[in-house]
Chains A and B, each alone.
Chain A
Amino acid sequence: MEYFLELSSSGLVRGSIYALIALGYTMVYGIIQLINFAHGEIYMIGAFVALIVSGVLTIYGFSGISILILAALIAVIYAAAYGYTLEKIAYRPLRNAPRLSPLISAIGMSLFLQNYVLLAQTPDFLRFPALIPDFEFMEPIAHIMGSPELVIVVTSAVSMVGLTVLIKYTRIGKAMRATQQDMTMARLVGVNVDNVISMTFIIGSVLAAIGGVLVGSYIGQINFYIGFMAGVKAFTAAVLGGIGNIPGAVLGALVLGLTEAYAAGYISSAYEDVFAFGVLVLILIFRPSGLLGKAVKQKV
């Protein structure tokens, strides 16, 4: 039982991070039907910015929690700027091009950003300081879920609630939902569709950057390549839950994270990816539109 809880906790942590990234994929897909392959790189850039900022702040004598908050804040702003720019230069000019063109552009941006960080920073792994303090909890709680893990799960949950509120109850949320349903109609009734799309990229990037900072602080190392695998996993989670569906992305991410943890714990960690993608295949066979996805008729 304790072992099951330990694995569940590790799966929950992974799932929370996947969810933060998966939301960006699913929101962008919901609005412009584009799979933004460069999204994983935004997550990586968020982590790098936080690392640099925390280094600078440490030199200036800041300490503990203030570094975490400031570093995360600056990382989020930076990542938002990257997401906004990315959309502006790589996707907006291709808005009316065949669907394959922005997809290729996305892959190109992903490679570009990876190599940019590789050249501008370093190809090696870098140490990421443990920004989230690791408190001494009582055993057995301490080894089941320590404070860094708790912070990850809580932060993710709060971000997701925030996102839901934003989409359901604010003006921009309403505009996003309108754009998602019918872009032309939304434009006709006076919604600034371009702004809405930019906003979607910014929100997605903010969430990804939060994920990047949390992961960096939790596992203590980053390099230019971490965005790739995280991106693939998060994309899988988004598809698993039904791409375009926001609660679906969260559910898919948790299912994926828990599957990986149980597979690693009860079967073999050498095959955790096999099980993760195996679950994806199974779900897509029986529910082609994902766990919560609605079967939408193709608009012709």
Chain B
Amino acid sequence: MRKTVIKNLVMVALLGMIMPATGFAADTIKIGVAGPHTGDLAPYGIPTKEAAEMVAAQVNAAGGVLGMQIEVLPMDDQCKPEIATNAATKLVSLDVDVVIGHVCSGATKAAMGIYKEAKIIAVSPSATNPPLTQSGDYPNFYRTIAPDDDQGKLASDFATDKLGAKRIAILHDKGDYGKGFADFAKQFIEAGGKAEVVLFEGVTPGAMDYSAVVQKVRREKADAVIFGGYHPEASKLVSQMNKKRMKIPFIGPDGVKGNGFLEIAGKDAEGVYATGPMDVSDYAVNQKAKADYTSKYGKEPGTFFDQGYAAMQVILNAIEVAGGTEYAALEKALKSSYVDTAVGKIKFDAKGDAEGVGFSVFQVQDGKFVELN
């Protein structure tokens, strides 16, 4: 007899816990923010959390979305895949409507399967690993940052479409960054079929000169050079190409696009192309977000703040357009309407990558990098 009483009490208590939660769900929108909030990678996760909270506070103060208040639920994954799956499960059990995250590509990959089963959309501010969108495994995945291969694609498209190159020489400095960029450029040129990669070769950073390699480029009759690496090697290469009377376009990645290259290469820099992150500091939304942050925290926002801010903005906009948090409607809204965000005017393509973010091609004109359109 006593036991049943206790049982009933427990039941009542449990129900009591569940009831308000379900009753609440109608008038709040729960947004999970997952990423490293502790540990050594926390500097990559905290700015996104702060951005999400800032946007939520502003929207709530203005009456919320569709009359509902926004609730931000931060969840720490320390950038570790095994913790990320737990964090994802927890967020699903808390019945979140949308997730912002995760931050690291590995953790994101681990968590995405769980969100996919639960039919929850996740928008990452920072997971740049290309297959996350391109594999098609995670139709519920979106990101407000350009994928790693974007620069390689931009450089190869620029060489083949804008410059009309048919025979492209790709050089790199053998490092992770430089060779990674070169690999992607090669892949896209070969896939595009508009030009041929006539030379794909590493150069030794710190070697006395690159004249032998330059001669090799000449022998292959290349009509453009794509280089993956940093500015010291790039300036050495362009200066030796000029010395060897080779006047073909030279395209580098964002490791070349900087004042270091302009200073070292001097006159030889003239006309060189480089890809680099789009300049967003002119956007009013970006300026306002940064100013708000600085007045609240008294410091400059950290890494991925812009992207986190933009992720929150696109989600709230999509909920408003979709008239709720139903999966199919949200998906349609994310992919169809442009939103003014902290990273520019963006919408998502069929695979979940943002259109309108990422890299532009710059050219050195009169000793300055000028953005080409």
List residues of chain A with CB under 8 Å of any chain B CB: 3, 6-7, 9-11, 13-14, 17, 124-127, 134, 139, 142-143, 146, 148, 215, 218-221, 223, 225-226, 229-230, 233, 260-261, 264-265, 268-270, 272-273
Contact = CB atoms under 8 A, between A and B. Distances in A.
B201 A265 contact: no
A221 B236 contact: yes
A143 B208 contact: no
B211 interface: yes
B243 A269 contact: no
A184 to B, nearest CB: 40
Contacts of B201: 268-270
3 cross-chain pairs, A with B, having the tightest CB-CB distances, nearest first: A270-B202, A264-B212, A10-B211
Contact of B264 (A126, A134, A260): A126
A10 B207 contact: no
B204 A142 contact: no
A241 to B, nearest CB: 18
Nearest to A10: B211
Interface residues of B, number: 33
Contact of B212 (A218, A223, A260): A260
B232 A13 contact: no
Interface of B: 174, 201-204, 206-213, 215-216, 218-219, 231-232, 235-236, 239-240, 243-246, 260, 263-266, 268
B268 A220 contact: yes
Nearest to A223: B232
A49 to B, nearest CB: 19
Contact of B206 (A218, A225, A265): A225
11 contacts: A3-B215, A7-B215, A10-B212, A11-B212, A125-B264, A127-B265, A221-B232, A226-B206, A264-B212, A270-B174, A270-B202
B216 to A, nearest CB: 6
A10 B266 contact: no
Contacts of B244: 143, 146
A69 to B, nearest CB: 21
A148 B243 contact: yes
Contacts of A264: 212-213, 216
A104 to B, nearest CB: 25
Nearest to B230: A125
A230 B208 CA distance: 7
A6 B263 CA distance: 29
A269 B203 contact: yes
A146 B264 CA distance: 21
Contact of B208 (A3, A125, A127, A233): A233
Given A143-B244, A229-B207, A265 B212 contact: yes
A221 B235 contact: yes
A264 B240 CA distance: 15
A245 B308 CA distance: 66
A269 B215 contact: no
Most buried by A among B206, B212, B266: B212
Given A139-B245, A220-B235, A269 B210 contact: yes
Contact of B243 (A125, A127, A146): A146
A143 B243 CA distance: 7
A152 to B, nearest CB: 10
A42 B115 CA distance: 62
A100 B224 CA distance: 52
B245 to A, nearest CB: 5
Contact of A270 (B203, B208, B231, B243): B203
